[in-house]
Structure 1
Amino acid sequence: MTRIMISLFIALFIAPVMAAGNNDAHNPANLQLASVSAVVMDANSGEVLYQKYANMVKPMASLTKVMTAMVVLDAKLPLNEAIRFSQDDRKAINYYHSRIRVDSELARGEVLRLALMSSENLAAAALGRNFPGGLPAFVAKMNAKARALGMKNTHYVDSSGLSHENVSTAADLAKLVAAAAKYKEITNYSTTPIYTANFSRPRYRLDYVNTNPLVRYQRWDVAMSKTGYLNEAGRCLVMKANVDGKDLVIVMLDSFGKTSPMGDAGRIKRWLASGNGGSVASAAKEYQKRKIATHLASRATASIR
């Protein structure tokens, strides 16, 4: 692919993708986001109100943990059963930092809460390992569930999301959020603002906070939430939230900057209310250009092969 062709593709990608059925009051061109990919969908009707590069396959980071929760709950494993954290769990997350002590125990339901609200990676790893058949069987169930939900461009390789090989699209993740919000445990656990977990063997306590400030400070009416971050994935956020009386599914992938998903959420809210979402920083625009160029170059290389 020549540089001219890549430049042309970038120019086409940079303009927001128009969602069918939008009127002038909610023109997608009036909503700029710092996220590379996004979807805003009416949770009740399924109507897509806004979409931006919704089918671009990207790493999803800890958004993976939403599927982890669904697989655990679908299996109807006892939530009051104690799970012991092991060195195998530490190895599964490449010895990534965790405050949880090896060999300590916590009820499965509370482990699930920590994975969802605070994105505790060791908790997600332990949930996968303590599944019948172990992690391989667990990951197989994750991918089977994705297929059942019609998530055609989604693939899982672990239960925590620390691998960049866990990939999806904004369109697929909108389906995931809509399905996950029907589980009362997921809505409860993922929207817990703060929580103290009481471990045993040995006995100790750890305080956790929700990784979504909109939930932690109760700024929005959020029914389901999950954040994610990896270098390869950028800042990610999915939510089901009530905005001005309307239940919405919101997916934002690969946001520029630590607080960008919060800024994008605010821009979406203003756009829905007034038709004007405001603007984003020039650095965020440049970030998106680079990400799109990398994506296109990768596609061009794959097509040559």
Structure 2
Amino acid sequence: MRRMFGNLLFVLVLPAMPILSGTPPAPAARPSTGALPAAAPPGIRSPAAIVADLNTGRVLYSKEADQARPVASLTKLMAALVLVESGLDLNTSQTITKTDHRLVKRGAPSRLRSGCAYTHRDLLHAALMVSDNVATVALGRSMGWTPEAFAHRMTLRAVEMGLSHTRFTDPTGLDAGDVSTAREMLAILQAVLNQPVLQSTCQKELYVIIPVSGKGHPILYRHTDAYIRRHPWDILGAKTGYTHPAQYCLAIGAALDGRPIGMVFLGAIGDLTRFGDYSRVMRWLTKQSRPPAVTG
């Protein structure tokens, strides 16, 4: 059973979304170096980053974009993609168990209560909006997958997508073995944005879930990207991540003058640095009279 929190749920529904249905940018291709744009490129502080026009696949900015790094909870983008592509029934429910909590005890505490059942749709929102690790393993269990089997399926999907530097050892991003590159995470982000149910989930700012059974209470989730919701640009979808090995990460799609821009920032030292990088890129692009040439 899913609930929207009255008028508090602000979802940016953009008519431009169909333009995301084109061919994703080839993750293995390296951009050719071109002339710098008139304005200086943004001072990106994240160690690895990429910015691209999702309509054309044109890379607008890159920095160590092919360096393999831990990606923390950006891993859940691939987890969600595999779940939906494998036919997850969003309207059925799963009961949270103590084992679900035990499997991810290294991560942040979950607000999902053992013994309470939630719809798969609600668990998907918990996984993508607030990076709930318990929700992620519970969804895998609904498909009959152990965390190891789930991660294996995710790695196979990466291989199918031609992502040669991406592999997963668990579906939540808690393991340092969940690695990818900024360029390959951008391809995963676009695949997620091309799935309507995932795009709309990643786009929401607020969402309320209510257990369909058990003694749990309603839970209000606020997207972990809430800091950047104050900016004027329309967000198509976003996912944050943090572990000590990965540091702070962000994958985000935003609309600029009707064209979708995809961005991935990996390894930022501070929590706000990744959001600052997003703001710097959007201000930089706004100043351009034409799409800038490739740099980096």
Bin of the TM-score, shorter chain as denominator length: 0.7 to 0.9
Question: What is the match of residue 92 of structure 1?
Answer: 103
Q: What SS class does the counterpart of residue 152 from structure 1 fall into?
A: coil
Question: What is the match of residue 73 of structure 2?
Answer: 62
Corresponding residue pairs, total:
257
Q: What SS class does the counterpart of residue 236 from structure 2 fall into?
A: strand
Q: 1:220 Cα deviation (Å)?
A: 2.6
Deviations 1:269-302 (A, max 9, x none): 1222336xxxxxxxxxxxxxxxxxxxxxxxxxxx
Deviations 1:20-58 (A, max 9, x none): 35433257x632111000000110111111110011111
Question: What is the match of residue 140 of structure 1?
Answer: 152
The 8 Å contact of residues 52 and 59 in structure 2, kept in 1 or not, is answered as: yes
TM-score, with normalisation over the residues of structure 2? 0.81
What does residue range 241-260 of structure 1 map to in structure 2 within 5 Å?
241-260=254-273
The 8 Å contact of residues 97 and 115 in structure 2, kept in 1 or not, is answered as: yes
TM-score, with normalisation over the residues of structure 1? 0.79
RMSD: 1.9
Q: What SS class does the counterpart of residue 100 from structure 1 fall into?
A: coil
Deviations 1:68-126 (A, max 9, x none): 11111011121111111112211211254112111211001110011111111111121
Change (3 A) 1:59 1:45: same
The 8 Å contact of residues 235 and 255 in structure 1, kept in 2 or not, is answered as: yes
* Alpha-carbon separation, structure 2, partners of 1:133 and 1:237: 27
The 8 Å contact of residues 94 and 117 in structure 2, kept in 1 or not, is answered as: yes
Is 1:185 the counterpart of 2:197? The answer is yes
* Alpha-carbon separation, structure 2, partners of 1:53 and 1:111: 34
Q: What SS class does the counterpart of residue 210 from structure 2 fall into?
A: strand
Higher relative contact order (CA 8 A, sep 6+): 2
Q: 1:246 Cα deviation (Å)?
A: 2.5
Question: What is the match of residue 108 of structure 1?
Answer: 120
Is 1:72 the counterpart of 2:83? The answer is yes
Structure 1 residue runs without a partner (length 5+): 1-17, 276-305
Question: What is the match of residue 289 of structure 1?
Answer: none
Q: 1:219 Cα deviation (Å)?
A: 4.1
Q: What SS class does the counterpart of residue 271 from structure 2 fall into?
A: coil
* Pair member with larger Rg: 1
Question: What is the match of residue 286 of structure 1?
Answer: none
One-letter amino acid of the structure 1 residue matched with residue 115 of structure 2:
D
One-letter amino acid of the structure 2 residue matched with residue 120 of structure 1:
D
The 8 Å contact of residues 106 and 174 in structure 2, kept in 1 or not, is answered as: no
* Alpha-carbon separation, structure 2, partners of 1:218 and 1:85: 36
Question: What is the match of residue 210 of structure 1?
Answer: 223
* Alpha-carbon separation, structure 1, partners of 2:74 and 2:284: 25
Query: Identity of counterpart residues, as a percentage?
Result: 31
Kindly indicate which of the two structures has a greater share of residues assigned to helix.
Answer: 1
One-letter amino acid of the structure 2 residue matched with residue 223 of structure 1:
L
* Alpha-carbon separation, structure 1, partners of 2:92 and 2:152: 23
One-letter amino acid of the structure 2 residue matched with residue 155 of structure 1:
R
One-letter amino acid of the structure 1 residue matched with residue 163 of structure 2:
M
One-letter amino acid of the structure 1 residue matched with residue 81 of structure 2:
M
Query: Which residue of 94, 98, 109 maps to 1:83?
Result: 94
Is 1:201 the counterpart of 2:199? The answer is no
Structure 2 residue runs without a partner (length 5+): 1-29, 289-296
Question: What is the match of residue 233 of structure 2?
Answer: 220
Change (3 A) 1:227 1:219: farther
* Alpha-carbon separation, structure 2, partners of 1:209 and 1:131: 27
The 8 Å contact of residues 110 and 133 in structure 2, kept in 1 or not, is answered as: yes
Change (3 A) 1:131 1:153: same
Q: What SS class does the counterpart of residue 80 from structure 1 fall into?
A: coil
* Alpha-carbon separation, structure 2, partners of 1:95 and 1:176: 25
The 8 Å contact of residues 256 and 286 in structure 2, kept in 1 or not, is answered as: no
